[in-house]
Amino acid sequence: MPVQLLKMMKGQSETPLPSHLQKENLQHLQEGRDYTNKYIQETFIVTGFKVVKLPTAGKDGRHDCHLEVSEEAGSAVYIYTKPGTTAASETASVSVAPKYVYTPLNHLKDGTIVNLYGVVKFFKPPYISKGTDYCSVVTLMDPSNVKLTCSLFSGNLDSLPKIYKVGDIVRFHRIKIREYNGQMQGITSGGFASLTFDGTVGAPIVPRTSSREYTFMDEEQKTIEDLRIWAASNISVSGPAAKLSGVQPMLFFDLTCQLVGKAKVDGSSFLLKVWDGTKCPYPTWKVPVEAKDLEGEKVLLHQLRNLAVDILVYDNHVQLAESLQIGSFLRIYSIHTKQASADNEDVSHIEFHLHGGTCYGRGIGVLPESNPDVKELKAFLESVDLTDSQNMESMCSMDIDSTFGNVTDLELHLQRCQQLSVTVLTDHQDLSNTELKTITNSPAPQQYRIRAKLRTYKPQKLHQSVKLHCSKCNSLQEVPDRDEFDFILHNSATTAPNPELHNASWYESVTWTTQDQKREIAIHFVKRDEMLQHPEDTLLMIEGGTLKEIWKLAKRFKCVIPVRSTEDDLELLDLSAPFLLQGSVKYYGCKKCSTPKPVKNLSSIAAEQQLSWEPTEIAQVLGIELLQYVFIMKFTLVDETGALNAYLFDYEKFFQIPASEILTNNFLQQKMQMTMDTLCPPGRKLGDLPWLECFIRSYNVRDAMKNQVYYQIFDTTVAEDVV
DNA sequence: TTAGGTTTTG
């Protein structure tokens, strides 16, 4: 900003102003007007400026210095106005557009306050923290491929970034960078401000902000466009968004909807009644509440009784849910759709839960009416004929007719399944079918081909079907939970790594102590030909690690084996803990059948020509009897003649999903749930269930009291177009 | 201060 000094003589300027300049009055100033040839004559006060010497000093008759002002440097301009000339307060403060510098995420330094741009990779919509403020956690990425997780706090909900989707783009000003657990972390500092933009390529660039005043330069438009293009191929969008018509017992999904009713249920849960104009194809649960507790337009609630669904929100979400306005538009993140059936019910129903906690971004966001998704939803809701939806009542939702107006893909899929078998045989195709009654009347053991319907199955909670099986002693056990692993790790961390065992001929060791000085960690990288390998090929052993650390290492390295030091060797931990981790899969050994051998046997595998680090081979050299993940389910099969319970014992073949991966992979869980919903669609009459072709074998189980015949499914797989 | 991303089992 050039500064020229005008010498005043008796109230007149000695050097006159250029004649093309016209005086403008403060009270007539308007946003967006061109003031190139206008001036205002007032007394200014400028603070917080920087004096910069001009390169052209002395040549053009101007003062040889600039005064540079910027918001970032805390500059402010004060203008004294004369009474009566302006309606504004006596002192007006004008922000001056500063030039901001934006730091790429790979150049962040501990202890600095910076401005930055980023694409939202993950976010938790604002929720009430345990302290005094709202909190929103946001993870950003930029083309440097570095991630930054920010904890943003504010007592004012409005001043937190208005992020609605993964892929949104944010601009943060004055965010403080700190190092936490070896990584950079962002945290709100004084003067934090943010803008949020839709991340869709080609969408209008309209910043979402609560600040009345903000700067946005033309060149920033380009930054947004560039980030959008980068994000399109580098950021995967968030989990499946769904309409109510498309819900599956899919475990978790985000729903954009309108709130039509709400009610207090008890201290730890709260009911939200919402709709999105589509109809859920399954019977949905209704949470019983007292009529007096239900807030909402009674007539509308009645009209929407077949379209609105009940969502029960728990714990920390209750307070926010209570404050929601009826009629507002919401995006509810990570709703759990749970299929439930009571033993006395013929059909199962779907329940919608928003569980407590905020992991995976679980929470409730209020969307403004300007949001494009809301605009679209509103238009759709207005087009829904509520008389029609009432008529649908006569078409019982438990008996969906194929003439039902809105035939979803699922319906078409199910129609196909009613004609063809949803399972196929992988062998013995020449056998002919046997009726179930004949089978139950025949002695075991025998093998049969059957054509039957899946009446029901157990467990309904599919994750409970995964067990660990020892093929040596034929025992089955539950998959240990993470608390057990955590406990074992905790105990083993009390023994410090033995320095004498570091850097053996076949591994290289790295050790350090945690910041609190409480824990010593040692990692031993197994070498090959005395060389370290790429991380993705490396097996490492770790002492003193936590669950989280081990989990992270297992993502990065090929194999992780938790160990502890003894006086003269490294040894495996208790076999209730996984002896090996690969990616997200934890491998366990049978306590009864394993005889652990020295870990140095691993060096024999490292010396092999084709190094692959196969779990079976690792188990073998370590003397571990490897437990295999298996699905165990009970299918109740029926045909025109009778019914029988057959067990499914499947490592991978039936579902074409490895049982070892299901517990840690949401996508596979959803896939399995969808498969089961095709085999046994919830809410269907028996006549509408699809056929299954299976092989079953009968076998005897004798105990002291009696002999019982059991049935097991074998050589059968789910049809290719079902999975 | 709060949270510090990694799903409940009601």
A93-A95-A96 Cα angle (round to 5): 135
Query: Are A220 and A275 in a shared domain?
Result: no
Say what the pTM is: 0.49
Residue A151 contacts strand B, CB under 7 A: yes
Residue A182 contacts strand B, CB under 7 A: no
A279-A284-A290 Cα angle (round to 5): 115
Dihedral of CA A341/A345/A350/A356: which sign?
negative
Strands A169-180 and A147-154: unpaired
A384-388, A512-516, A563-567: which is most confident: A563-567
Q: CA-CA distance, A642 to A42, in Å (whole number)?
A: 97
Q: How much is the pLDDT for A99? A: 76
Given a cut of 70, whether residue A93 has pLDDT beyond it is: no
Residues A128-178: pLDDT tens digits?
999 999 999 999 999 999 999 999 999 999 999 999 999 999 999 999 999
Confirm whether A469 is domain-assigned. Answer: no
Confirm whether A520 is domain-assigned. Answer: yes
User: What are the tokens at A665?
Assistant: 């992979």
Query: Are A170 and A134 in a shared domain?
Result: yes
**If DSSP codes are grouped into helix, strand and coil, which group holds residue A175?**
strand
Any idea which nucleotide's C1' is nearest the CA of A150? B4
Residue A360 contacts strand B, CB under 7 A: yes
A356 CA to B9 C1' distance (Å): 12
> pLDDT confidence of A390, banded at 50, 70, 90?
very low
Look at A160-174, A226-240, A402-416, A552-566 and tell me which has the smallest mean pLDDT. Answer: A402-416
Q: CA-CA distance, A688 to A411, in Å (whole number)?
A: 11
> pLDDT confidence of A670, banded at 50, 70, 90?
confident
User: What are the tokens at A716?
Assistant: 């059968």
Confirm whether A390 is domain-assigned. Answer: no
A380 CA to B7 C1' distance (Å): 31
The gap between the terminal CA atoms of chain A, to the nearest Å, is 67
Confirm whether A101 is domain-assigned. Answer: no
Q: CA-CA distance, A342 to A285, in Å (whole number)?
A: 12
Q: Is-contact A599 A570, C-beta < 8 A?
A: yes
> pLDDT confidence of A69, banded at 50, 70, 90?
low
Residue A180 contacts strand B, CB under 7 A: yes
A464 CA to B4 C1' distance (Å): 31
Please report how many Cα atoms fall inside a 13 Å half-sphere around the Cα of residue A156, on the Cβ side: 8
Q: How much is the pLDDT for A237? A: 72
Any idea which nucleotide's C1' is nearest the CA of A155? B2
Query: Are A267 and A329 in a shared domain?
Result: yes
**Could you list the residue range(s) of the whole structural domain that residue A497 is in?**
478-624
Chain A 92-121 residues in 7 Å CB range of strand B: 121
Average pLDDT over residues A112-122: 96
Q: How much is the pLDDT for A345? A: 57
Given a cut of 80, whether residue A106 has pLDDT beyond it is: yes
Pick A3 or A288 by higher pLDDT.
A288
Q: How much is the pLDDT for A679? A: 93
Given a cut of 80, whether residue A404 has pLDDT beyond it is: no
Dihedral of CA A495/A496/A497/A499: which sign?
negative
Query: Are A132 and A215 in a shared domain?
Result: yes
Confirm whether A588 is domain-assigned. Answer: yes
Query: Are A668 and A718 in a shared domain?
Result: yes
Confirm whether A396 is domain-assigned. Answer: no
Residue A317 contacts strand B, CB under 7 A: no
Average pLDDT over residues A427-444: 90
DSSP secondary structure letters along A670-691:
HHHHHHHHHHS-TT--GGGSPE
Query: Are A590 and A687 in a shared domain?
Result: no
Contact positions of strand B to protein Cβ (< 7 A) = 1-10
- Amino acid whose CA is nearest the C1' of B9: A461
Which contacts (CB < 8 Å, 24+ apart) does range A225-233 have?
A225/A201, A226/A143, A227/A117, A227/A118, A227/A119, A227/A142, A227/A143, A227/A169, A227/A199, A228/A169, A228/A199, A228/A200, A228/A201, A228/A202, A228/A203, A229/A201, A230/A119, A230/A142, A230/A143, A231/A119, A231/A167, A231/A169, A231/A199, A232/A201
A429 CA to B7 C1' distance (Å): 43
Average pLDDT over residues A693-702: 92
Given a cut of 70, whether residue A564 has pLDDT beyond it is: yes
Residues A192-216: pLDDT tens digits?
999 999 998 888 899 998 777 788 8
Q: What is the count of structural domains for chain A?
A: 5
> Looking at A80, A104, A130, which one is the last position of a domain?
A80
Q: How much is the pLDDT for A348? A: 74
Average pLDDT over residues A648-661: 94
> Looking at A624, A643, A664, which one is the last position of a domain?
A624
> Looking at A624, A655, A680, which one is the last position of a domain?
A624
Confirm whether A388 is domain-assigned. Answer: no
Residue A189 contacts strand B, CB under 7 A: no
Q: State the CATH number of the domain containing residue A125.
A: 2.40.50.140
DSSP secondary structure letters along A560-598:
EEEEEE-SS-EEE--TTS-SEEETTEEE-B-TTT-----
Report, in this order, helix, strand and coil percent for chain A, each rounded to 5. Answer: 20, 35, 45
Query: Are A638 and A532 in a shared domain?
Result: no
Query: Are A287 and A375 in a shared domain?
Result: yes
Pick A54 or A20 by higher pLDDT.
A20
Chain A 8-37 residues in 7 Å CB range of strand B: none
Residue A408 contacts strand B, CB under 7 A: no
Residues A340-375: pLDDT tens digits?
865 555 567 899 999 999 999 999 999 999 998 999
Query: Are A525 and A581 in a shared domain?
Result: yes
Q: How much is the pLDDT for A58? A: 46
A179 CA to B3 C1' distance (Å): 14
Strands A643-650 and A707-714: parallel
Number of other residues whose CB lies within 10 A of the CB of residue A699: 13
Chain A 662-721 residues in 7 Å CB range of strand B: 666
Residue A156 contacts strand B, CB under 7 A: no
Q: CA-CA distance, A423 to A413, in Å (whole number)?
A: 14
Pick A452 or A66 by higher pLDDT.
A452
A215 CA to B3 C1' distance (Å): 29
A9-23, A587-601, A605-619: which is most confident: A587-601
Query: Are A207 and A127 in a shared domain?
Result: yes
Residue A268 contacts strand B, CB under 7 A: yes
Confirm whether A288 is domain-assigned. Answer: yes
Query: Are A227 and A270 in a shared domain?
Result: no
- Amino acid whose CA is nearest the C1' of B8: A355
Pick A75 or A447 by higher pLDDT.
A447
- Amino acid whose CA is nearest the C1' of B1: A131
A188 CA to B7 C1' distance (Å): 27
Percent of the residues in chain A that have a pLDDT greater than 70, as a whole number: 81
Rounded mean pLDDT of chain A?
A: 84
Residue A359 contacts strand B, CB under 7 A: yes
> pLDDT confidence of A4, banded at 50, 70, 90?
low
Average pLDDT over residues A545-562: 90
Query: Are A656 and A596 in a shared domain?
Result: no
